[in-house]
Amino acid sequence: METLLNHRASKKKIKPIPVDKNITILNLGHVKYIFKSPFPVNIVLEDNVYIAFSYDLNLFGYGENEDEAVRDLCESIIEHYEHLKSNRENLGYLLKRDWEFLTRLIIELEEATCN
């Protein structure tokens, strides 16, 4: 009887636990830009691809694991910041809101020089 139960149990498909969690990241992984405070990120797993999503900026990054997805999101945030910075005089309402949000969130460091 016990072997019959074990046999039946082994035929059941075990569903993987879905990844849907909120984390905070503390830095952008960049030498020129840092966060002033922790930044909230949502991570989901869809079709074996990890997606890190910022609801505040409507940006995402993806990768084969959580770290890659977060790094890709950070690159997207930096690209968005630099694009907004270079076009800040001509921004519409929504992009201006993003720019104001990012300027409150990101510190731009001066490049260090050795003399």
pLDDT 10s digits, 3-62: 444 545 555 555 555 568 999 998 899 999 999 999 999 999 998 999 999 999 999 999
pLDDT 10s digits, 71-103: 999 999 999 999 999 999 999 999 999 999 999
- Which two tokens mark 62? 């993806």
Output the pLDDT for position 114. 54
Residue 34 CB partners (closer than 8 Å, separation 6+)? 27, 28, 106, 107, 109
What are the backbone angles phi and psi of residue 93, rounded to the nearest 5°? Answer: -55, -50
CA distance 112 to 42: 33
Residue 32 CB partners (closer than 8 Å, separation 6+)? 108, 109, 111
Q: What is the DSSP letter of 89?
A: G
User: Which residue type, as a one-letter code, is found at position 115?
Assistant: N
Output the pLDDT for position 73. 97
User: Which residue type, as a one-letter code, is found at position 48?
Assistant: N
Confirm if 53 and 42 have CB atoms less than 8 A apart: yes
Q: Is 52 helix (H, G, I), strand (E, B) or coil?
A: strand
